[in-house]
Structure 1
């Protein structure tokens, strides 16, 4: 059975190696290297030699275990492709045909069964190489490094498997990494190969779908010696994005880094798996620009016993002798002088390689087994093929249904390879999904400077698609070092985050990540940063000053506890005592001429109504209950109607009394006091009818007003019908106007104690107060509207008291000589209303 592997040893990037054919005997067949060396490989990678030795170690480990494939010995062949496509195809054809010839669609080496091919490592090569098999030679290909999503298409690549996840998962992981660290404004950079273009396209899709934005997207042009670096760095310099996701390999990245150093540009680089753990010595030159780099890498693993096995190689070995001698010269800075300049390396070395150098004392990429990634993938591929062979050998179907382990068809092994499921020594479970892909598990690594000044790849998290929900993506942000001294996560956004109380308003013609922060409108809040909309507070709540939370609105009404309410209530009560005091004076001095001349009964009724006018303002103070709302305006309207009706009656009676003194007048009968009572009754009755109609049709009721002052809940009385209210107030104005006009016309009547001029002043004051109330009440809000009406009630009541009774009380109390019949006769005859 044969296994073919393709890591890379001696190419510009990697070297393709083939490990076929393990026969029933223990003999290992190695194809002469010059068969495939039609080009010169000018760069040697230690890590690829390590992968070849891991392949050897896995085969030796399997052959040494009697419980695995007993009586069967695995062998392999290795081919170096120098990472050149036509050499990859040539190697694939040769291993299928036989050891030393190429015949398409034909297998010449009948004595040794070929089981599979491990490789190639490059996605493009992996896409083309399987096409060389032919329709009847459907050998499994297992790549340890090809990650292109195209290879998951089982219709196109039915026999392709890989021990590394598809770039679909890597791209999602890179996008999740960017978003997890809060970067919403990133640049994208990708090599112009299938690997780079497909990978970066998936990253862009994930980033955009998550609501982040791409500042720029540029290609590394591999056909140009400078890789288009000047243009790329110019774009990076002009962009405000501080984070750049790079889907490329380390070789193509070097010109970009050189140009960044030239222009002194530093960015946080996000690495794909192709260079996230690169050990290229040339990258150490850019350590100042690479420290802080974070990326996704193939999941690392451990291979017990590998370190000791790696130290067993020696230049005298037959297997891979050419590669080992190159490694030996580079590792020990010496040269084998017995060769005819075979390697071409270290021509200026002054030391000769003796072969006795101690490899165990060397610390380099080859001997480092602390973080095995690609090497572990090669090791896994060998064991996967072995497990499939073991399952094929142990087939339990009836005789004739199971394939023969010594002579099976490729498609028969393919069936078992699709269904392998086993665990390696370190506990990792290996299996393939329906697309031939393994479980997607990655390490998140951070590039940090080691104490000796070198670059180290520190694992800071993981991306495991097999983990339970919520544990797929884990990262220890505190372990990340972004620069040589700083641990704080850098910021890469087009616009700074909008704080609480603001919302993001997009800028016209720019990506959604470019926005301006706008304060929330009145009555709305945001309780999280970077909110796209504001939340409207409930009707009974209002935002705090920062607009971050909704607080209960303050309830406002004119209460007795309120200082303003207390003052108005006290003034009302005290003022109501003044008419009572005047009434007592009138009762005490009711027999005096001045009291008799002012219609004693009507004056008493007026004083009582004035006292109620002061007291009716109390109904406006306190929490507006339903009863309060029903009665306060009606009470106000009725007591003022009685009050103004009394003054109107007094005014008319003054006129009648004067006119009745003329000879031949028939008006004497109208000077009877009952006439004035009838007038008061009729005028008050009209107001009563108006109020009853108001209460019947649209009565007042308490309400919570949130419109006048949105920050407050104003508890107020809705008047029900504003028209009815203004009709009631207008009727009072009509009565007062009639009284004013009549009194004004009668102000010069030659009667003693003539009240006409006092009524004129009282009605003028009364009307002035209520005319002023109209604009004041419209402009006032909340409890101040009620306070304005109370003030108008008190002011107008005081105007009537002062104008109507102040002069009379002054005469009664302080000028008694003027309160006499002689004084009345001296001034003239007459009886005042």
Structure 2
């Protein structure tokens, strides 16, 4: 017995409704009445050829390539729900250049080719549907799926478009099955062969399966799944994502089961708008003689009655009170379905194309004879169907662009009930411009899933702060989760790679967010800056007191004994060194960066040159005491002043060269300290920076080399031993400074430099002047000429 797909009768009734509306419309094709022929290929592509020939040749004399008794009123053909049927129809219709408008939701590459020049695919693009599938999978993070398609050209076309999209988005297809299309006679045997088919699903541990096919191609699958619904309850309940061609509720009406299996299914159906008059049309449908033959079998099946008792024995005659609205929804829907809505729009497209064609003709004929003498040929309609824009009977805007309907798909959630009724809930959409929306709160999932959202993944998702690492010899969906490196984050689930934060930001503890770095420098408000500034000011005060002591005792022997001028210059340079360290504390600026490095280098060079000159003075003074020694004349020439001046000028030259070529400048360091932007002075030329330090080290080394042997020379106030200790401290501090400076980061490098200045400066101050101040203040008895003479005689 032939299976009856009750709901498909709505397609034909929609065609009749659209023709009825157009014929009543006085502004669309006025004074012209459209007619129609309805044919059924009974789901067999082989019957399609005979059906088309019956349409073209009115007296059943089907002679291809001849116009024997050919009807003259066939201006277009609407049909071809499957790809095979569309191609077979186009094979004949293209010969006669009759426009064929197919509304099946499949992608065809035949439109526009010379052998199928009359074929118009006026459904929404299936590529939009497949993009919607991928967007839906990505939205719910379903990356471990199965795919079932019909074993025909439509199924292969579906796979050719879908599979690359899945691969590009790292979605793994665990199994890919093709269902062979079968006839009714083969249904039982084929279903028997497919009894092991559900084992694929059970073994694959897949919760989401994409299905593409129509009622006939998936009939055997429906039967097998229905059988296993009762014998294997563990299988009942998956997330099915179905194509627009397949309405699984047809299987419920035809076979009576699969309710639990497909509860919660998500379908992509062509976008529809409500057509209010359609329900009234169905409610007021009258069974006249023109409809009896067409609806006879349908009426017998759903209402258990017939129009003429002589046709079927034992069949009660229909009363005429039967109403389509009383039928359950799995038999017939009063709302226009997606496929019916496409038929509705296609009929209006043909009508508007004919209307445009009539308007383009010269108006020379009387209005009453217009329809009789137009002599319209079917091939003339093509140019008006290419791109057409109109409003249908419900007032909805319809646009055909490049032989495709410029609209998208609605995402429908199917909710089934125990009485074989169902509810279609619109939960999202994918537009023709690829705009995707979904309301997951409105979705009812299959009862098998205890959690709110089903999962279908090979492994658990990688959380924020981790990235995916694909396992060797494993599918891309099976991966390990690797924590992000120290300076990188990932702020989404299953991130392919971690991303670097901008330079002015750094990762938080969880490595899932970049937060702004704190601007930092050695400031006067923090403890370290306060301590260093206090020490610098304290030693400035000590140095000032020392200067005052020496000025008050300017004419005492201990002050006069070691060149008062050099002593005064040395004290002033020590005072300025302490003050120069304050330039390093606080936010670096252009002026402070230029001053503190050059000032520090020049002032320290003056101090070391003074120590070097004092040492030379001590040595020359000892040698000059010997009778007849020629060195006495060098003491009279103030050689010490020359040493200080020449030693300082060389450093001044180095600093000027530094400032003129690559001077220091304010800079920021964003990488040395995590979470901080360190404002510092960039040395500009590192070579010049270390040249300045190296020159100071050279002076100190030469001074130490001379002072060390001179420390034991007999003299009352011999400074050589104090100079030796001070230069030893100075060299030790600055030799230690270099590795400490290179190893520290951030504002600590500035603190190291300030500490080195304070330490080396204090070493000179303490070693040279502390003993003298002790004598001047506490042991004034030792600060006398008498003691000086006694020591010399001794």
Q: Give the aligned partner of residue 43 of structure 1.
A: 3
Q: TM-score, normalised by structure 2?
A: 0.76
* Structure with greater proportional helix content: 2
Q: Does 1:483 align with 2:440?
A: no
The offset of 1:756, in angstroms, is 4.1
Distance 2:353 2:561 in 1: 132
The offset of 1:184, in angstroms, is 6.2
The offset of 1:447, in angstroms, is 0.5
Distance 1:612 1:769 in 2: 19
CA contact (8 A) 1:659 1:665 kept: no
Secondary structure of the structure 2 residue equivalent to 1:448: strand
Q: Give the aligned partner of residue 278 of structure 1.
A: 249
Q: Does 1:155 align with 2:114?
A: yes
Q: Give the aligned partner of residue 185 of structure 2.
A: none
Q: Give the aligned partner of residue 84 of structure 1.
A: 44
The offset of 1:73, in angstroms, is 8.8
Q: Deviations over 1:478-529 (max 9, x none)?
A: 4332335989665656787777777777777888777777777777777877
Q: Does 1:779 align with 2:747?
A: no
Distance 2:25 2:685 in 1: 102
Secondary structure of the structure 1 residue equivalent to 2:752: helix
Distance 1:513 1:380 in 2: 42
Q: Give the aligned partner of residue 193 of structure 1.
A: 152
Distance 2:125 2:611 in 1: 102
Distance 1:785 1:128 in 2: 84
The offset of 1:153, in angstroms, is 3.7
CA contact (8 A) 1:392 1:405 kept: no
Distance 1:615 1:65 in 2: 99
Q: Does 1:292 align with 2:255?
A: no
What is the number of equivalent residue pairs in this alignment? 768
Q: Give the aligned partner of residue 689 of structure 1.
A: 650
The offset of 1:93, in angstroms, is 3.4
Q: TM-score, normalised by structure 1?
A: 0.73
Distance 2:754 2:499 in 1: 40
Unaligned runs of 5+ in 1: 1-40, 344-350
Distance of aligned partners of 1:410 and 1:277 in 2 relative to their CA distance in 1, 3 Å threshold: farther
Q: 1:765 aligns with which of 729, 753, 765?
A: 729
Unaligned runs of 5+ in 2: 183-188
CA contact (8 A) 1:245 1:270 kept: yes
CA contact (8 A) 2:149 2:212 kept: yes
Matched ranges for 1:368-517 at <5 A: 368-374=333-339, 398=364, 405=372, 411=378, 418=385, 425-427=393-395, 435=403, 440=407, 442-450=409-417, 454-461=421-428, 465=432, 476-484=439-447, 490=454
Distance 1:67 1:604 in 2: 114
Distance of aligned partners of 1:233 and 1:803 in 2 relative to their CA distance in 1, 3 Å threshold: same
Distance of aligned partners of 1:60 and 1:242 in 2 relative to their CA distance in 1, 3 Å threshold: closer
The offset of 1:198, in angstroms, is 2.2
Q: Give the aligned partner of residue 190 of structure 2.
A: 225
Distance 1:431 1:560 in 2: 72
Distance of aligned partners of 1:489 and 1:96 in 2 relative to their CA distance in 1, 3 Å threshold: same
Distance of aligned partners of 1:178 and 1:574 in 2 relative to their CA distance in 1, 3 Å threshold: closer
Q: 1:303 aligns with which of 263, 278, 281?
A: 278
CA contact (8 A) 2:22 2:28 kept: yes
Q: Give the aligned partner of residue 186 of structure 2.
A: none
Distance 1:158 1:59 in 2: 26
Distance 2:469 2:129 in 1: 33
Distance 1:768 1:407 in 2: 113
CA contact (8 A) 1:276 1:297 kept: no
Distance of aligned partners of 1:506 and 1:688 in 2 relative to their CA distance in 1, 3 Å threshold: farther
CA contact (8 A) 1:96 1:133 kept: no
Distance 1:746 1:391 in 2: 118
Q: Does 1:706 align with 2:669?
A: yes
Distance 1:177 1:577 in 2: 77
Q: Give the aligned partner of residue 829 of structure 1.
A: 793
CA contact (8 A) 1:389 1:405 kept: no
Q: Does 1:797 align with 2:767?
A: no
Q: Give the aligned partner of residue 568 of structure 1.
A: 532
Distance 1:667 1:90 in 2: 137
Secondary structure of the structure 1 residue equivalent to 2:770: helix
The offset of 1:251, in angstroms, is 1.4
Matched ranges for 1:37-436 at <5 A: 41-49=1-9, 81-99=41-59, 102-104=62-64, 119=79, 121-129=81-89, 131=91, 149=108, 152-153=111-112, 155-159=114-118, 167=126, 170-171=129-130, 174=133, 186-204=145-163, 217-222=176-181, 225-226=190-191, 230=196, 234=200, 237-238=203-204, 242-249=208-215, 250-255=218-223, 257-258=225-226, 261=229, 262=232, 264=235, 266-276=237-247, 278-281=249-252, 285-298=257-270, 299=272, 301=275, 303-309=278-284, 312=287, 320=292, 324=296, 327-328=299-300, 331-332=303-304, 353=316, 355=318, 359-360=322-323, 362-364=326-328, 365=330, 368-374=333-339, 398=364, 405=372, 411=378, 418=385, 425-427=393-395, 435=403
Q: Give the aligned partner of residue 617 of structure 1.
A: 581
Q: Deviations over 1:78-117 (max 9, x none)?
A: 6664433444433443454445665555677689977776
CA contact (8 A) 2:81 2:103 kept: yes
Q: CA RMSD in A?
A: 5.3
Distance of aligned partners of 1:759 and 1:455 in 2 relative to their CA distance in 1, 3 Å threshold: same
Secondary structure of the structure 1 residue equivalent to 2:793: coil
Distance 2:31 2:632 in 1: 150
Secondary structure of the structure 1 residue equivalent to 2:147: strand
Q: Give the aligned partner of residue 33 of structure 1.
A: none
Q: Give the aligned partner of residue 629 of structure 2.
A: 666
